[in-house]
Amino acid sequence: MATVAEVMNSTMDTIPTRMRAMRIHRLGPVKAGRPPLEADFVPVPSPGPAHLLVRVHACGVCHTELDEIEGRTPPAALPMTPGHQVIGTVVAQGESCRLGLLNRRVGVAWIHSACGECRWCTSGRENLCPDFHACGRDAAGGYAEYMTVPESFTHLVPDEIGDLEATPLLCAGAVGYRALSLCHLENGQSLGLTGFGASGHLVLQMAQHLYPDSGIFVFARSQAERKFAADLGANWTGDTSERPGTGLDAIIDTTPAWLPVLAAMEALAPGGRLVINAIRKEGGDRDILASLDYDRHLWREKIMTTVANVTRQDVRECLRLAAEIPLRPHVTAYPLEDANQALLELKQGHIRGAKVLRVP
C-alpha cells in the first residue's frame, strides 16, 4: 500500500505520519473505572485509489458505540476506531477520485460502503445491502485525527451548519429523516412520535417544516421529554398509554420496549403506518405481545415496518433540510481524549443534547 506521501493529489505538507486515535481493544460493559477505549498513536491511514483521506474536525458520540463496545453489534476486527458522525476536511485522495472533493468539508455517516450492484443497491435501498459496511464498526471511524472513506460515500455539508452541530444530523437526523420518509405522510395528516430522544426532537422539527398543517402527537414516559416536545410546538403530548382523541395516520416509535408498539398500533387510524426506528427491542416486556389483538391492533389495513441503517440519499436530504429549516441540534463538546468520559456519561443516561468529540 502506498504511503500518504506517495498518493497523488494530497496536501502533503499538512499530513503527519502518525495520529492519535481512541480505539476499542476489547469488548465488555461500559462502566466507571473501566475505560472502554485506549488512546493509541498509530500511522495515518493511506487512502485507496477511490478513497479520500479526511482530517477529522469533530465526531459525534452515539449509543451505537455502546452497542459495539458491549458486544451487541461487535466490531469486525479489534482494535477498532469507532465513530460514524464525522465532519472533516479532505486532505488527500486516491488517483481514481473524480468528485473534486480535495480541501472540501465533508461528512461521513454510518454507511461507509455498500456493494453498489445487488438488487437493494440498484433500487435505492443500499441500506439493506448484504455487503453493507458500517463506519466505525466494519471500517475505522472518526474517533481519530484522520480516517479514510470511499469518495462516493462522503457528503458535502452546507456552509451554514457548523462542525459540531452537523454531527448529530449524520446519525440521529438522517435515520430520523428516513423514518419520516417511510411514514409516507401527506401534509395535514397526523404524526405520532413515541419516545422523544435524540432522533425524536429532530424529526419533530423536520415534520413541522415538511408538513406544516399536520398535527404532531408526542408520547413519552418522562415529564421532561413531554415538556421539551411541547416547547418545540408539539400539538399534543401524553404518556405512552394515553390516547389522543383521534386516530393517527403515522407513528414513529423510537423506544426500546414492546408496550409502545402495541399502544401505537392501537392509536393508528385505519390504513395508518407504524415505523419502528430502533436497532433492537429489549426483551424485558416481550410478554405483552401475547395480548396482541387482531381487531384492536392490526385490522383495517394497519401497517408496521422498521428502519434499518441509512442511505446516502437520507444523509444528504437531511443535511439539506437542516440547512433550510434551520435545524441546529444542541451539542456538548468533549476533547477527543475525553471520549471515555463522554461514553460513560451516555451510558449513565446524561442524554440531553448530543455529545460530540472535538478533534483539534
Minimal distance, residue 124 CB to Zn ion, in Å: 11
Nearer to Zn ion, 59 or 91 (CB): 59
DSSP letters for 267-322? HEEEEEEEEE--S---STTGGGGGG--IIIIITTT-EEEE--S--HHHHHHHHHHH
Part in contact with Zn ion (CB under 5 A); list of ranges 11-19, 57-65, 195-203, 209-217: 57-65
Minimal distance, residue 114 CB to Zn ion, in Å: 5
Helix H or strand E segment including 175: helix 172-182
Part in contact with Zn ion (CB under 5 A); list of ranges 44-52, 169-177, 275-283, 301-309: 169-177
Kindly state the number of chain residues that form the binding site for Zn ion, as judged by CB under 5 A.
8
Cβ 149 vs Cβ 112: under 8 Å: yes
Part in contact with Zn ion (CB under 5 A); list of ranges 61-69, 151-159, 302-310, 346-354: 61-69
Q: Is 19 a binder of Zn ion (CB under 5 A)?
A: no
Helix H or strand E segment including 180: helix 172-182
Q: Is 62 a binder of Zn ion (CB under 5 A)?
A: yes
Part in contact with Zn ion (CB under 5 A); list of ranges 62-70, 256-264, 292-300, 352-360: 62-70
Footprint of Zn ion on residues 109-168 (CB under 5 A)? Answer: 114-115, 118, 121, 129
Minimal distance, residue 110 CB to Zn ion, in Å: 6
Sequence-distant (6+) residues with CB within 8 A of 93 are 7, 8, 9, 10, 47, 51, 52, 53, 101, 102, 151
DSSP 8-class letter at 342 = H
Minimal distance, residue 170 CB to Zn ion, in Å: 8
Report the DSSP pairing between strands 216-219 and 236-238. Answer: parallel
Longest Cα separation, the chain: 68
Nearer to Zn ion, 91 or 139 (CB): 139
- Sole residue written with cell 444528504: 316
Q: Which residues bind Zn ion (CB under 5 A)?
A: 62, 64, 114-115, 118, 121, 129, 171
